[in-house]
């Protein structure tokens, strides 16, 4: 049930991102940045939840550190993709006229 919930959250985030992309000419830069950031947070929440419910707990104490490190690295990669690829798609000149 939890995996299905997180899949639905991911689908909702992707659909909202597509809708925002289609209507981006009608929105202000500030609105685009705030809403795209919120969509990114919902998407990363869904991805992390899906992965967290798909992994098995480690059998030893030494393996406990791998899960938080893996999740941090995954979130860092998602954030870099968001900053360097997604934001320039929504707002190509978001740093110029702020």
In a domain, 23, yes or no: yes
- Quick check: pTM over 0.85? no
For residue 79, the enclosing domain spans 2-90
When divided into structural domains, the chain yields a total of 1
The pLDDT of residue 7 is above 60: yes
Does 98 reside within a domain?
A: no
pLDDT of 67 strictly over 70: yes
Residue 43 maps to a domain? yes
Q: For residue 91, with 0-12 CB atoms within 10 Å meaning exposed, 13-18 middle and 19 or more buried, which class applies?
A: buried
Q: Is 38 domain-assigned? A: yes
What CA–CA distance (Å, rounded) separates 68 from 72? 6
Q: Report the mean per-residue pLDDT for the chain.
A: 85
| Residue 65, in any domain of the structure | yes
Is residue 95 in a domain? Answer: no
More confident residue, 61 or 18: 18
Whether residue 52 is contained in a domain is answered as yes
Task: Give the whole-angstrom CA distance, residue 8 versus residue 14.
Answer: 10
């Amino acid at each position: 049930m939890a995996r299905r919930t997180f899949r639905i959250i991911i689908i909702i985030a992707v659909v909202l991102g597509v809708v925002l992309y289609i209507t981006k000419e009608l929105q202000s830069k500030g609105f685009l940045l705030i809403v795209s950031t919120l969509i990114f947070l919902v998407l990363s929440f869904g991805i992390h939840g899906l992965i967290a419910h798909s992994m098995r707990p480690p059998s030893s104490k030494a393996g406990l550190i791998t899960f938080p490190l893996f999740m941090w690295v995954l979130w860092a990669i998602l954030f870099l993709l968001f900053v360097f690829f997604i934001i320039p798609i929504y707002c190509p000149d978001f740093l110029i006229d702020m």
